[in-house]
Amino acid sequence: MTTEKISRSFNFDTIALHGGQDIDPTTRSRAVPIYQTTSYVFDDADYANELFQMQKEGYIYSRNANPTNTVLEKRLAQLEGGSGAFAVSSGQAAITIALNTLAKAGDEIVATNALYGGTYNLFANTFQRFGIKVHFVDGHDLDAVEAAINEKTKALFTETIGNPSLQIADLKNLSRIAHKHGIPLVVDNTFTTPYLEKPFDFGADIIVHSLTKFIGGHGTSIGGAIVDSGRFPWNNGRFPEFTEKKPYLNHHSFLELAKENAFIAKARFELGHDLGASLSPFNSWLFIQGLESLSLRIEKHVSNTLKVAEYLSQHEQVEWVNYPSLKDNPQFELSKIYLPKGAGSILTFGIKGGLEAAKTFINSVKLLSHVANVGDSKSLVIHPATTTHSRLLPEEQLQAGVTPEQIRLSVGLEDANDIIADIEQALSVVRTKHF
């Protein structure tokens, strides 16, 4: 019996270690091998033609598919409870490919406005140049979300936990609204990972990931993935590109050929092939190593973050702390529904003394690293208003929940006492300099 055939009945930790891997029959290698190859030898001319027309499954060229990446893709799909996945070169590539598989010039997308700054820029600028209009709405204003959808809309997009506002997406209601209008709900699950939240359980249709963060977990590699639930009815009339017969598919449609994998097949066969944002097998292998310890790491991330949040909450130099798992947080009730195991390891706090105090704090940390990243095993810190979200106009920053006194922490796996001691010494430098 192969691992792949039985893994759907396994629990999370077992899938994280075994999902998607069939032991290589030639070498019997226990670890997933790195298939560092560009291309694959075809059996004969007819076989090559059948592969190119999606009549047969097999490898052609590593821009489209690679056996190491396949293990990662299957493992991610199983962990999310989806039908298939496509691993790509970055989280940004995953978002770009997923949404452009749904929308083309003239179409529209509705997105919640509390998003990672890079995604906001991608939507507001680059998608506009592609001819795709993105409407930004407050994800907690469900009437506004619904009002922004029209006959040109091809997707509703949100992040499970908005960056850096930490707004928790109300996926049950967002998916209900999306489905009422015949469009899929696309969810960025980077901040939560399938260990903390499974968006498909709440009605989402497509998930995107920046693997760069918690799934890689060690700050070594950039990568992304698209996962499909396999449940969206592409034949509902809004998505003719899935049902039209294509000459290059031997006069079949993606839906006919790939059935519940139609979305992933279209993403891989068209934009994956044409844009070439492919994931290197070596990086894929590193993400597989990351997945193997995901739950252990996330549990420690969460317990450390709670300790740091509680410490900051009682500190006299701290104006406010935003971590949805804290009992007095306005999103605490929502966090119990969507994130009962904890609201991840990103928290923000407002430092007394505003922008200048925030800069001094960041210049004074010693253990925490000042970097533009989250989800590393090491603790990280940044000032979103002047970095990740600095391309946003002041009013756009406010809408995204970005303020001058706000500091974002990505709490790592060090001893929590050492993280807190570093924050304490940096706050004491602020006290001496500004008060």
- Residue numbers at the binding site for ligand PLP (CB under 6 A): 90-92, 116, 118-119, 159, 163, 188, 190-191, 210, 212, 222, 224, 374
* Cα(218)–Cα(330) distance, integer angstroms: 32
Among candidates 193, 197, 230, which has minimal Cα distance to 91?
193
CA dihedral 386, 387, 389, 395 (to 10 degrees): 10
* Cα(321)–Cα(183) distance, integer angstroms: 36
* Cα(342)–Cα(298) distance, integer angstroms: 9
Give min distance, CB of 94 to ligand PLP, in A. Answer: 8
Q: Which two tokens stand for residue 306?
A: 């709670």
Is residue 80 within 8 Å of residue 194, measured between CB atoms? yes
Nearer to ligand PLP, 384 or 404 (CB): 384
Nearer to ligand PLP, 214 or 269 (CB): 214
Give min distance, CB of 166 to ligand PLP, in A. Answer: 11
Nearer to ligand PLP, 372 or 421 (CB): 372
b/e code 216-235 from CB counts within 10 Å (16+ = b)? bbebebbbbbbbbbbebebe
Nearer to ligand PLP, 98 or 249 (CB): 98
Per DSSP, the chain holds a count of helices (H) and strands (E) of: 20, 12
b/e code 249-258 from CB counts within 10 Å (16+ = b)? beebbbbebb
Give min distance, CB of 39 to ligand PLP, in A. Answer: 26
Nearer to ligand PLP, 190 or 261 (CB): 190
Helices (H), 150-293: 171-180, 193-196, 240-243, 254-258, 262-266, 273-275, 281-292
Nearer to ligand PLP, 111 or 265 (CB): 111
Give min distance, CB of 188 to ligand PLP, in A. Answer: 5
Give min distance, CB of 98 to ligand PLP, in A. Answer: 11
Nearer to ligand PLP, 118 or 342 (CB): 118
Give min distance, CB of 417 to ligand PLP, in A. Answer: 28
Give min distance, CB of 374 to ligand PLP, in A. Answer: 6
Instruction: Classify residue 8 by burial, with Cβ atoms within 10 Å: 0-12, 13-18, 19+.
Output: exposed
Nearer to ligand PLP, 190 or 280 (CB): 190
DSSP for residue 317: T
Of all helices (H) and strands (E), which one includes residue 359?
helix 354-364
Nearer to ligand PLP, 3 or 280 (CB): 280
Give min distance, CB of 336 to ligand PLP, in A. Answer: 22
Q: Omega of the bond prior to 164 within 30 degrees of 0, cis?
A: yes
Give min distance, CB of 269 to ligand PLP, in A. Answer: 22
Nearer to ligand PLP, 92 or 167 (CB): 92
Residue nearest ligand PLP, CB atom distance:
91
Give min distance, CB of 157 to ligand PLP, in A. Answer: 11
Identity at 336, one-letter amino acid code: K
With tokens 């190119």, the residue in question is 52
* Cα(200)–Cα(197) distance, integer angstroms: 9
